[in-house]
Amino acid sequence: MVQISYMHNLNPNQEKAVQCKDNLLIVAGAGTGKTKTIVSKICHYIDQGLVLPNQIMATTFTNKATHEMKKRLESHLGHFASMISIGTFHRISLNIVQTHEKLLGFENIQVLSYDDQLQLIRKIMSHMKFKDSRPSQILELIQRAKEKGTFGDLNPAERDIGEIYQKRLKEMNAMDFADLLVNAIKLWKNNPSVLAQYKEQYKLICVDEYQDINEVQHEWLKLICGKENQLCCVGDPDQAIYSFRGSNIKYILGFGEEFKNSQRIILDQNYRSTDKIIKSANSLIKFNKNRIDKELLPNSVSDRKVDVFVAIHEKEESSEICKIIAQEKEKNPDASVAILFRTSAQMDSMEESLLNANIKYSIVGSIQLLDRAEIKDAVSYIRFLANPNDFMAFSRLIQSPKRGIGKTTIDKIESSPGASVKDKIDNSGLNESTNNKLKEILDQFDSWKSSPLPFSKLAKKIIEESGLFEASEPPRQENLNRWLESVGEFEGAEEYANYVLWSNIKSDDDKDVQLMTVHAAKGLEFDIVFLPGWEEGLFPHIRSRANTEEERRLAYVALTRARSYLAISYAQSRMQHGKYMSTTPSRFLKELDSKNSTFQSFKHKKNGNKVFHDIFGHGIVEETGVHHAQVKFGNVVKIVPLNSLAKR
């Protein structure tokens, strides 16, 4: 049945874990081959006749992890791999509730997608005229409440929405993701014979990412596990980073007490990163107290230390990172590169620098600045200003903001003869009211085209006078303001329109630089990793002050994504509310292994020139970056644009 040697290249601890026949917790550090170990254990149990393939259940944290495990098992077991129950908790629970749906009072259960769930919540909130929270926030609260088994922690309005939501789901004969686990538990508790059937069915239960399970998943596992089967959980408390989703590290830390006569095996041989990276990660995570003591052992040695850079401000930080990326790519074009952020809000400055440096990039789990709907709307105005024949731009801007001109009218204009949009409108035979609206818009463009304002100020004038800015919600207004900051270097509409045209030619090539949050990077690895924004308030984040240990675990995850080169950076000042504010380096920087890291400035120029600023007066330049300078005005140090200084 087994096609190739599943025991090949296992280290002693991995081999011990594969052969263990007790309940087992495998504490698998980053890059220690946990998936290989789980797959080998499953193959070993089948090969030794301890279980049949259909007597194995393996739960994963993501659909991607499910696919990877299935693929590896197929390479060893062939078609027998399809007999193993592999999937996320939600996927396996769906199979269970569908099999016994009549016992739960359902028939032909449908599972609502996230978008459908959100749409249902949105309708309920609209009907109730509830506007205190976003629909996505309410949905998240309801999901967490259902997993806890009560709406008791919700406020009265949220509770009402939750109850109506559940009633609507029932009427639709539908469940959401949280319902799948909750109803599987309900089924087992109310029908002991059904639970006994599943306990008898599955002789080996493997659970991946055990550090990330939540309360309802834990209850689910406790019900199905017993004397009839063996439990093998794999996880790393040092990588528990999802408490905001309800995960609780206590379950992996208390495994030995909860499951008596169990074993614990630590996988500590790292096959991913260099010794300098591993030693820095070990040094950092040792400051946590709530953990299982272990120290990763590197498998590869390198002379290259972890670089820690300091920049004057985030624009210099971003531009200097781009320079290093260019240098690294020149040496090794095939190297995979990632820039990992604590929050997605930090990406804008980096995105702008990558665009300016003509470096291809992709954003994982987010939307690029130029791909955001409100930015596309703004750009459509600039494109039409540059080219009055650009009907695609016109058809977008005419509906942003809403003007009572719909698809039927736009289609009629498009099908009318004429080279320019104005000609098409004139030949479309529209009614007087619609014609007047369109004339008013075209007159606005004539006015903007003749404006003597610099392009950056003209762009601001356009999004304000068009009504686009006022019609946008506050988060989108913030994005529009960021976009306005990025257009300052362009001379006019035509130059910017051409820039956008070529910037939008994107590639899905794996060689693109990958931008993502550290949370999104969990489970991934890259040759080269950059970690910008290591400042107090950002990393650790100000909203996570009460959970510094989880923030440190998140930093540990970030460090251990790198294979060969790791660069961490922080800025001495960062733009907040329209002005530069001084920052404090992250406490985590002090916790790195100083013997294996190098602290240095980006290439600042120290010149001591005497200068004059219109607001701050006379000063002495301490350091200059790409676009800004650090200047001492009397006893006060400020970060100011270089073009705001005059030499004295």
Active site residues: 34-35, 208-209, 239, 561
Which residues are annotated as part of the binding site?
Answer: 28-35
Would you say 185 and 218 are in contact if contact means Cβ atoms under 8 Å apart? no
**23 SS3 class:** coil
Residues 6 or more apart in contact with residue 602 via CB below 8 angstroms: 309, 310, 311, 316, 317, 320, 569, 625
Would you say 275 and 300 are in contact if contact means Cβ atoms under 8 Å apart? yes
535 DSSP β-pair partners: 585
Of the candidates 279, 273, 342, 280, the one whose C-alpha atom is nearest the C-alpha of residue 314 is: 342
Paired tokens of 148: 């806890």
Which residues are annotated as part of the binding site for ATP?
Answer: 28-35
Cα dist. 47→70, 104, 203, 609 in Å? Answer: 17, 38, 15, 76
Phi, psi (degrees; rounded to nearest 5) at 499 = -60, -45
Other C-beta atoms within 10 Å of 142: how many?
A: 23
**386 SS3 class:** helix
Would you say 592 and 306 are in contact if contact means Cβ atoms under 8 Å apart? yes
Residues 6 or more apart in contact with residue 110 via CB below 8 angstroms: 172, 173, 174, 175
For residues 204 and 31, what is the distance between their CA atoms, to the nearest angstrom? 25
Of the candidates 335, 362, 343, 338, the one whose C-alpha atom is nearest the C-alpha of residue 351 is: 362
Q: What amino acid occupies position 626?
A: V
Please identify which residue in the block is written with the tokens 């309410």.
Answer: 138
Q: Which long-range contacts (CB under 8 A, 24 or more apart) does 449-455 make?
A: 449/385, 455/487, 455/490, 455/491, 455/492, 455/493, 455/495, 455/496
- 617 DSSP assignment: E
Total count of residues recorded for the chain: 648
Q: How many degrees, rounded to 5, is the angle at CA 62 between CA 44 and CA 76?
A: 25
For residues 226 and 205, what is the distance between their CA atoms, to the nearest angstrom? 11
User: CB-side exposure of 301: number of CA atoms within 13 Å?
Assistant: 0
